[in-house]
Amino acid sequence: MKPIEELLCQTAAMHRHLCPRQVLGVRIGLAGRAALGLDASRCDKRLLVFVETDGCGADGVSVTADCWVGRRTLRVIDFGKLAATFVDTHTGQAVRVAPQPSIREVAQRYAPGARNSWAAQNKGYRLMPTAELLSTQSVTLTVDLEALISRPGVRTACEVCAEEIMNEREVIYDGTVLCRACAGAVYYRPALDDAPAAYLSRKVDQVHQLMVPA
């Protein structure tokens, strides 16, 4: 395992600053790896991490676990919490690591004379014993790990929008292959300027025909 100072430099370089959340993320990453007994020298994809927020803390976890969105070893489940679940994909063993309550206040004790609470947390989170800083709990995943990882090279195309779908993320509705957006799980719609009402109603009709058999 790399020394904590090296990990902090690595995450700070990505952010051009070092903040308490990065320190906490690094400590969470170290605790998660230790709990599973998977050291960072391995470069396979055995370790999978679910991190429960985006932002600075997530990068602290990522750097320490050496798990990345682009390698498909990091999944962001945005609960707005700086916590993470570490999964050994070979054994299915999983542990969730989260900060203890009130660590902001406890950190002050480990950094007497710090010029403000931000500086106290930055230093305190480095020095606090793991049990005082974090809780680690064995958990069972409620998601299908095999389906989540899927198989390399699998792809198909949506029968409505024709866009390619990777990693078996399609939805089959009544024998029709749909992407999740066309199946209704949308987080966007065409801007109205680009999408006259006629276009939108045609799109809705197309999906409707597929979803509701005549």
8 binds Zn ion (CB under 5 A): no
Alpha-carbon span 65 to 88, nearest angstrom? 12
If we measure between CA atoms, which residue out of 107, 126, 127 comes closest to residue 117?
A: 107
Other C-beta atoms lying within 10 Å of the C-beta of residue 150: 13
Binding-residue pattern over the window 135 to 164 for Zn ion, x denoting contact by CB under 5 A:
-----------------------x-xx---
Can residue 26 be called a binding residue for Zn ion (CB under 5 A)? no
Contact between 179 and Zn ion by CB under 5 A: the answer reads yes
Query: Is 58 an interacting residue with respect to Zn ion (CB under 5 A)?
Result: no
182 is a site residue for Zn ion (CB under 5 A):
yes
Distance separating alpha carbons of residues 211 and 110, to the nearest angstrom: 60
| HSE toward the beta carbon, residue 212, CA cutoff 13 A | 6
Draw the binding track, 99-138, toward Zn ion (x: CB under 5 A; -: no contact). Answer: ----------------------------------------
Residue placing its CB nearer to Zn ion in the complex, 93 or 117: 117
Backbone phi, psi, residue 98, to 5°: -140, 155
**DSSP secondary structure string, 22-36?**
HHHHHHHHHHHHHHH
Work out whether 63 is an interface residue with Zn ion (CB under 5 A).
Answer: no
**Least spacing, CB of residue 99 vs Zn ion, in Å:** 15
Distance in Å from the first CA to the final CA of the chain: 61
CB of 118 to Zn ion, least distance (A): 10
List of residues contacting Zn ion (CB under 5 A): 19, 56, 158, 160-161, 179, 182
